[in-house]
Chain A
Amino acid sequence: MEAQAQQAEKEDDFIYPIFYQYPPYFTLQPVKETQQKQRLLWKDLILRYCRHHRVFVVSAEDAEDFPLFHNPAINRRLTREFKVLLLDDLVRQGSALWSDRAQRAALVLWRAIPEWAELIYRWARGCGFEDSVVTVDEMQSGMYVTGTELEGLHREVLVRAVRNLEQQGKAKLFKGALGDDEGVKFFTQA
């Protein structure tokens, strides 16, 4: 039964707001005030959706068809312009980063970088990794992160969070000899 519940959770127990089913919300409204409300609603929905599904990369490309931006039940999908506009709103409020200059996809930070940093540091201390080196790969998918908040964390987000820890003097990022395997050394705080 527990497995079933987990399955259901994995599947989609995400609750959509009613506007997601209301066709005009897929058209950018020409009236400024209405459009602001519309963009605010969408922005919140994107963040909530990504947090729920632990999604980090949201594509703005038509070809990719990010599931949230297409509601087949009413046969509506966001145009690329609309998607870019929304993701740009998120970028401007610091909740996302464009992955590329062409604005093909954005990295959605449903937790702010300092929050991720805090989580990572707490995790490292909890595992007793102070003064030792952990590879970035291990922090993404190693046995110590299985079942924790950090599992499957996007590499870019992870690195940025570690950089944040660096600034606080809590960790240091090392480049491995091959350039591919990066490691993090955590420090105990005085």
Chain B
Amino acid sequence: MRRRPGLQGLARDKAARDQFKAVGDQVNATKLEAMKALMRHFQASLQEFALKHRQDIRRDPVFRAQFHAMCANIGVDPLSSNKGTWNKLLGFGDFYYELGVQVVEACITARPFTGGLMELGLVHKYVQRRRGAAADPVSEDDLVRAIERLAGLGSGFGLVKIGGKQFVRSVPTELSTDSNTLIELAQRLGGYFSLADALSNTRWQEERLRDALAAMAREGLLLIDDQPGAGGPASSAAAAAVAPSPLAAGLAAPSSSPQRLYWVPAVAVLPAIEHYRQAEGLAAVPSVRLADMAGVAPLGGGGGGGAAAAAAEVQGAPGVRAEEQVAAVVAGLGGLDLVGGHVVERRGS
């Protein structure tokens, strides 16, 4: 039967549509309700899980990373809510806040030395040591999370990947690709390179290389080493070239010392020194006793006990303001003994 257009037909159509819509709405509502219930259930389960494994999450860095991965998969960020269930449940806010403070401390203490770039591994070592043996271990993954939190402060803290290694950046400047290349080169060659090394490795025009070197030196990422004294008593001619002339002459014309070396302090310093001593046949020369990088952490006090005490103090008093802690560290910097991964105690007999 053919339906003809007409008022009645239209009304019937509309009635049918309305009915369908009503049923649809109902279905939707039930679905939503079911969804909500599921979510509630899920959240409850997750909380229950978190609560049950709270100790594991706090203690075990690997487990913590897995927990984070799980949360990310289902679109929950236990870090984003500073108040509320998650923070109360896990104390993550405090945990990463505290870790952030320690990262900042490591970077700022090292900054006069490293120029604001520090290997993540070194920061990790510093933080571990700073926290003391009694504290729960942290992983690099935790540090990365803490640093991501710091980035929100607009303080210039961030992570940079250079040559397969992660660096923590604590200065707001961006690294140019040329700087990246040279840092990578230094990393590959053990912490330092000569002009010839750099030219043969990068195949750049000399002009470009000199520009890149000058830029890095300005950022404090590169130090110049004219090897004074390497060939007998220092001549004053070598020093005269270094005197007050800034970059232009100082960097571009190493005529007085053909074997000028360029050192990148962002690359772990102590291994670099050892590498140099080996390469130059100086390994047998007795070395002086060097400070331990952790020696700087306990404010004013020295020794391992101090470090543990300082860490315990941080652990026990999350109320201490981060800025105060950092300021105190910076103020107590006097010796600036940090940077490096381990105690060097190689004394000649």
Question: Is B263 a contact partner of A76 (Cβ separation < 8 A)?
Answer: no
**Is A133 in contact with chain B by the CB < 8 A criterion?**
no
Given A34-B220, A81-B239, check contact A76 B227 (CB 8 Å).
yes
Question: Is A24 a contact partner of B225 (Cβ separation < 8 A)?
Answer: yes
- Bound-state Cα–Cα, A80 to B228, Å: 10
Which of A67-75, A102-110, A156-164 makes up part of the contact surface? Answer: A67-75
For B291, list chain A residues within 8 Å (CB): 15-18
Question: Is B276 a contact partner of A23 (Cβ separation < 8 A)?
Answer: yes
B287 to chain A, nearest CB (A): 4
- Bound-state Cα–Cα, A153 to B206, Å: 56
For A15, list chain B residues within 8 Å (CB): 289-291, 295, 337
**Is A174 in contact with chain B by the CB < 8 A criterion?**
no
Question: Is A31 a contact partner of B217 (Cβ separation < 8 A)?
Answer: yes
**Is A112 in contact with chain B by the CB < 8 A criterion?**
no
Question: Is A80 a contact partner of B239 (Cβ separation < 8 A)?
Answer: yes
With both beta carbons as reference points, the residue of chain A lying nearest to B337 in the complex is identified as: A17
- Bound-state Cα–Cα, A72 to B250, Å: 25
> Which residues on B are within 8 Å of A, measured CB to CB?
112-113, 115, 192, 217-218, 220, 223-230, 233-234, 236, 238-240, 242-243, 245-247, 250-251, 261, 263, 265, 269-270, 272-273, 276-277, 280, 282, 285-291, 293, 295, 334-340, 344
Taking a contact as CB atoms closer than 8 A, the residue among A26, A44, A75 that contacts B335 in the complex is A44
Question: Is B234 a contact partner of A77 (Cβ separation < 8 A)?
Answer: yes
Question: Is B277 a contact partner of A18 (Cβ separation < 8 A)?
Answer: no
A-B contact pairs, 30 of them (CB 8 A): A17-B290, A17-B335, A18-B337, A19-B336, A23-B227, A24-B224, A24-B225, A26-B229, A29-B217, A30-B245, A30-B250, A31-B220, A32-B246, A34-B115, A34-B220, A72-B285, A73-B282, A73-B285, A73-B287, A75-B227, A75-B280, A75-B282, A75-B285, A76-B227, A76-B228, A76-B229, A77-B228, A78-B234, A79-B228, A81-B236
Question: Is A28 a contact partner of B246 (Cβ separation < 8 A)?
Answer: no
Given A21-B273, A62-B234, check contact A71 B288 (CB 8 Å).
yes
- Bound-state Cα–Cα, A26 to B220, Å: 16
Taking a contact as CB atoms closer than 8 A, the residue among B276, B295, B334, B340 that contacts A44 in the complex is B334
With both beta carbons as reference points, the residue of chain B lying nearest to A41 in the complex is identified as: B336
Question: Is A29 a contact partner of B224 (Cβ separation < 8 A)?
Answer: yes
**A contact residues, range:** 35 or more
Taking a contact as CB atoms closer than 8 A, the residue among A30, A37, A79 that contacts B239 in the complex is A79
**Is A100 in contact with chain B by the CB < 8 A criterion?**
no
**Is A144 in contact with chain B by the CB < 8 A criterion?**
no
Question: Is A12 a contact partner of B289 (Cβ separation < 8 A)?
Answer: yes
Q: Which of B261, B285, B288, B339 has the most CB of A within 10 A?
A: B288
Question: Is A19 a contact partner of B334 (Cβ separation < 8 A)?
Answer: no
- Bound-state Cα–Cα, A61 to B107, Å: 37
Question: Is B337 a contact partner of A30 (Cβ separation < 8 A)?
Answer: no
Question: Is A29 a contact partner of B289 (Cβ separation < 8 A)?
Answer: no
For B218, list chain A residues within 8 Å (CB): 31
For B273, list chain A residues within 8 Å (CB): 21-23, 74
